[in-house]
A and B are shown apart, each in its own frame.
Chain A
């Protein structure tokens, strides 16, 4: 069973998001997603300064058997991306909610974050998907 931290918000497409104290939103992929993809070999994170729209493919994660888009849950400007993933994509496998974060976005509209799934709803969606 995969880990779904209670303090995060999620998309059905398996991205997680956390609202930081400075108002930015950190984005990564869920424990379930990293398990499904297997050992990651490459991460393409967006360049800071880029404006992304909610639902837009902002990053790509790649394993030997699959490549998957990472959708931004909110519209806004990318203020940071995780440079450590360049040399260590396995950080996402090891610590998807911590050292394996992918990007930080300053949202245009905070309501988009609020409309994401909470942990309970995401866990329910996962359960529905596997049955």
Chain B
């Protein structure tokens, strides 16, 4: 029996109760001067260990997850997270190591991180890798900051404009702004490629660089990448590769070989570290020769058989530090274990089977009468279905389909992204799903489409079988209720 509702932890509280095995019992009076002492205890739960365990276990049961449901969320790469990656990253010696402990006590972990840097260099074709960014968005920040530092070091101070395609993920422009750059958007052609004429018109002495995802956010490979690179490089700009879709090309084509100067990788996508309900991520960056001096520190270096941290003294032109220590080491460990288990052949199979699953799902949905947004293009690891006909004929939009899929036991695909395609579902099955699971998803889509025609209210009111029905977002934003208060 699955939980459908769970009280707040505070509503389980009773004064004087706590999990007493978990802290020192000898009463201590903290020797704090009266003026610095806290007045009144904080509102933390007063529950037993079992009450807490039961509460949070029940909460977990209110979630969809990869371990329980097919999760075809486009651009998020929700593949299976092997259990070994977690188990061996949680070995007590690795878990309990203080980040500032002497390097002599951490040669094991340093070697792991060094080898991870080397493997990531190989799969991306870049010359250097820094593991320190703590998420994709921080990797992006590091990338654009390096581009700025490069131009500044050359006294090319006018280069402050970052070009992004209109289909780009929202972090791209947000990152450019955080780095003190301005943003220029260029359009995408109806066939999904970037409009090179607009690009030629956009570049100039103000161009710092361009941020690209390839395959792009609309799920197709940018075929004119060679021309595009030439245009940007000849104008004096650099090329930034957003690694959001690296899963699609792993081992098949390398960003370094495409001529990119800097790339960030989302290890929580391509290298299967957990999404954890929204984090932690890890956004390692790779760079070409000319950006090597600017990489964020620390980076693991090797002097023969000894490993050590390279810092500001080793890279005086570094953009600097992005975290309190050296990034999300625990996440890096999981990526390392995953890569070692895949090996060189397994890594190529990732893109092969991710692409096979995606094209198969696209072909089956198309055969079932769904409209693909880019039917003439080969799907990459993901593709877009547009439900504009369904919206027009029956008044059932993409969100209605998404919510109804939840009732059928499938997590919804990404909806309304990219913004270019009306009523869209961005679908990414990943390589770890079986044909049976994909077929079941197609069956569900067909069944929902039939409902849309005959009983559209089933979609508009969906979901019906989850812990809650659709939530009032307007109320949530207007009558802010962000913390619980005792009645």
Contact = CB atoms under 8 A, between A and B. Distances in A.
A39 interface: yes
A41 B480 CA distance: 10
Nearest to A42: B477
Interface in B447-487: 473-474, 476-478
Contacts of B473: 64
Contacts of B478: 41-42, 89
Interface string B344-381: 00000000000000000000000000000000000000
Contacts of B477: 41-42, 62, 64
Contacts of B474: 39, 41, 63-64
Count class of interface residues, chain B: under 10
Contacts of B476: 64
Nearest to B475: A41
Nearest to B416: A65
A27 B402 CA distance: 39
A41 B477 CA distance: 6
Contacts of A63: 474
B52 to A, nearest CB: 33
Contacts, number: 13
Nearest to B476: A64
B475 to A, nearest CB: 9
Count class of interface residues, chain A: under 10
Interface string A53-88: 000000000111000000000000000000000000
A38 to B, nearest CB: 8
A42 B478 CA distance: 7
A19 to B, nearest CB: 33
A89 B479 CA distance: 12
Contacts of A39: 474
**Most chain-A CB neighbours within 10 Å: which of B473, B476, B478?**
B478
A63 B474 CA distance: 8
Interface string A24-66: 0000000000000001011000000000000000000011100
A42 B479 CA distance: 11
Contacts of A41: 474, 477-478
A64 B476 CA distance: 9
A62 B478 CA distance: 10
Contacts of A62: 477
A63 B475 CA distance: 11
Nearest to B474: A39
Contacts of A89: 478
A64 B473 CA distance: 7
B416 to A, nearest CB: 9
A42 B476 CA distance: 12
Nearest to B477: A41
A39 to B, nearest CB: 4
A74 B478 CA distance: 31
B87 to A, nearest CB: 41
Interface string A85-117: 000010000000000000000000000000000
A41 B475 CA distance: 8
Nearest to B478: A41
A35 to B, nearest CB: 15
A63 B478 CA distance: 9
Nearest to B479: A41
A8 to B, nearest CB: 27
A27 B217 CA distance: 38
A89 B478 CA distance: 9
A15 to B, nearest CB: 22
Nearest to A39: B474
A102 to B, nearest CB: 18
Nearest to A89: B478
Contacts of A64: 473-474, 476-477
A64 B474 CA distance: 6
A64 B478 CA distance: 9
**Most chain-B CB neighbours within 10 Å: which of A42, A64, A89?**
A64
A64 B416 CA distance: 14
A89 B474 CA distance: 11
A85 to B, nearest CB: 12
Nearest to A41: B477
Nearest to A65: B473
A57 to B, nearest CB: 14
Interface string B431-447: 00000000000000000
A89 to B, nearest CB: 7
Closest 3 CB pairs between A and B? A41-B477, A64-B473, A39-B474
Given A64-B474, A64-B477, 11 more contacts: A39-B474, A41-B474, A41-B477, A41-B478, A42-B477, A42-B478, A62-B477, A63-B474, A64-B473, A64-B476, A89-B478
13 contacts: A39-B474, A41-B474, A41-B477, A41-B478, A42-B477, A42-B478, A62-B477, A63-B474, A64-B473, A64-B474, A64-B476, A64-B477, A89-B478
